[in-house]
Amino acid sequence: MLLIQKFGGTSVGDGDRIGAVAGIVKATSLRGHRVAVVVSATGDTTDHLLDACRLARRGDAAGVSSVVEAISAAHRVAVARAMRPGAVQESAIEVVEALLRDLARILGGLAAIGEVTPRSQDAVVAFGERLSAPILAAALNDRGCKARPFTGAEAGICTDSTFGEARPLMDVTRHQVRLALGAVLDGGLVPVVTGFIAADSHGVTTTLGRSGSDYTATLLGACLSADEVEIYSDVDGLMTADPRIVPDARVIPELGFAEAEEMAFFGAKMMHPMALETANEAGVVVRIRGTFKPEFAGTRIVPNAARGRVPASTMQERSIVGQEAPRDPQSRADGDRPVPAPTDRPGFAAASATPLLPPSFDPQPVVRAVSLIRNVGLITVSGAGMAGLPGTAARVFDVLGKQRANVLMVSQGSSEVNISIVIPAASVPGAVNALELALLGGEAVHDIQCEEEVSVVAAVGAGMRGTTGVAARIFGAVAEAGVNVRMIAQGSSELNVSFVVSSAQAPAAVKALHAAFGLGD
């Protein structure tokens, strides 16, 4: 099998965790699989780099220097903890120190002129992954698993020039990824690719947006026709509810892409919006797994047409460039040194060979999970003059778009006298002010109300499609729990029913739905 294994920032949060990740990758390779790794920046490094950009924009050279020093210290410790002293560690130190000097130079220049463009910000935030990838590759080499770091650009990912939210040019990317990584994989090496970052057709660094490492992983999976993309994080899989709210919430063993996309959006495991779509279009299975429980099978996300088929683990292995990949780990290229004996360092002992199998489950329950979005606001635009007047909703959304307020939910009754919108709480003050300036005083809109202490609860499941009585069960359970529903929305896909409640009542609503549909059984 060819596996793409992606590890998030929590998974590689420090040197010990990087060592543990190296152990997971090594164990997978020893089972005869070919593996490509995608890695995020360590811990909060991306946030720190964004802080440095904000300081540079203000011309705060001392503040920038302080952030760079903190990042440098953390990565020096990570190198020391992730591998043993020796030639491999010394080489990793040289690479990391060179990158840190480049980072300090770039940020110093930006602080001197007091300007950070989207292009230069992409160049800065890319250093998070550019630092983590060579450290993880060195940790793998130190454990006898031959690896080589690649930036996203070196791996072949080519995008447009929309800095901060770049979109891949798929035809070019597909060709270049196969050329860059195909022979490496078939030669028995593990490519360690930086998530999140790529380059445009001129070779300028771009980024794929937050959670872009997930997108990198599914892009590589699609381009390389991988058997499975494994997304490792601090959760063991997609769950039926937030276990902090519902103690008996359980991991969902398998579901379809449409359900997973709904659940990812509603907070079950926030992923890049294009990550699952890319895998779905390519027919590549995605699995959500926990770094801290690698023996657990996690959640397997498959195309709806593939539900119930033989798992990907039984599929015949394929060679990227048309040659059969080596199955025996001993048949690697010459020069591999023996695998070191287990030590007290994380990752040196091989993991168990077979993940635990999930328990039996209903292949198509009516509701798959109950999700919750906190920190949102509900805005209601109303006026009798809105009835029958074309373009009012368009004006509302135009104003919100100019405020860059992301609309999460919309509801409008057939009377047309009001329209309710849910947006992130951080966007509410600016959005309300802009709506008042643009709409009040005319003949259509007479009032704009805002409620900030609200949350969105969503019941998600493909089994709701065409099933009668689902809404009655949902709102009956919520009513029995004494929860007042402020707003309701359901798309024609019938994959989810979303409603707004006060934040104080949101946990009770989630618990009531989870129990009503037997999700903890």
Q: Is the pLDDT of residue 172 over 60?
A: yes
pLDDT of residue 364: 64
The stretch 353-357 carries a mean pLDDT of 39
> With contact defined as beta carbons under 8 Å apart, do 374 and 424 qualify?
no
pLDDT of residue 414: 75
pLDDT of residue 184: 96
pLDDT of residue 304: 61
pLDDT of residue 344: 40
pLDDT of residue 350: 37
pLDDT one-digit tens code per residue, 235-279 = 888 889 988 899 999 999 998 888 888 876 665 556 676 898 999
pLDDT of residue 265: 63
Q: Is the pLDDT of residue 36 over 90?
A: yes
Q: Does 306 or 136 have the greater pLDDT score?
A: 136
Q: pLDDT tier at 316 (50, 70, 90 boundaries)?
A: very low
The stretch 126-140 carries a mean pLDDT of 98
> With contact defined as beta carbons under 8 Å apart, do 40 and 71 qualify?
no
Q: pLDDT tier at 308 (50, 70, 90 boundaries)?
A: very low
Q: pLDDT tier at 29 (50, 70, 90 boundaries)?
A: very high
CA torsion sign for 382, 386, 388, 391 is negative
Q: Is the pLDDT of residue 48 over 90?
A: yes
Task: List Cβ neighbours of 175 (8 Å cut-off, separation of 6 or more).
Answer: 156
Q: Is the pLDDT of residue 339 over 70?
A: no
Our measurement of the distance from residue 7's CA atom to the centroid of its chain's CA atoms, rounded to an integer in Å, reads 10
State the residue for tokens 């302080």: 66
The stretch 168-190 carries a mean pLDDT of 96
Q: Does 323 or 216 have the greater pLDDT score?
A: 216
Q: pTM to 2 decimals?
A: 0.80
Q: How far apart are CA 422 and CA 452, in angstroms?
A: 10
pLDDT of residue 211: 81
Q: Does 203 or 491 have the greater pLDDT score?
A: 203
% of the chain residues with pLDDT over 70? 86
State the residue for tokens 């420090």: 14
Q: pLDDT tier at 90 (50, 70, 90 boundaries)?
A: very high
pLDDT of residue 466: 85
> With contact defined as beta carbons under 8 Å apart, do 300 and 311 qualify?
yes
> With contact defined as beta carbons under 8 Å apart, do 168 and 156 qualify?
no
> With contact defined as beta carbons under 8 Å apart, do 194 and 39 qualify?
yes
pLDDT of residue 326: 36
Share in percent of the chain as helix, strand, coil (round to 5): 40, 20, 40
Q: Does 499 or 339 have the greater pLDDT score?
A: 499
Q: Is the pLDDT of residue 69 over 80?
A: yes
Q: Is the pLDDT of residue 309 over 70?
A: no
Least confident of 153-162, 191-200, 326-335, 511-520: 326-335
Q: Is the pLDDT of residue 233 over 60?
A: yes
State the residue for tokens 């152990």: 23
The stretch 26-55 carries a mean pLDDT of 96
The stretch 401-421 carries a mean pLDDT of 87
pLDDT one-digit tens code per residue, 435-476 = 999 888 777 888 999 999 999 999 998 888 888 899 999 999
pLDDT one-digit tens code per residue, 366-396 = 899 998 988 899 999 988 878 777 888 888 9
Other beta carbons within 10 angstroms of residue 430's beta carbon come to 14
Q: pLDDT tier at 320 (50, 70, 90 boundaries)?
A: very low
| Strand 2-7, strand 228-233: pairing | parallel
* Tokens encoding 393: 């909703």
Q: How far apart are CA 305 and CA 309, in angstroms?
A: 9
Supply the mean pLDDT for the chain.
86
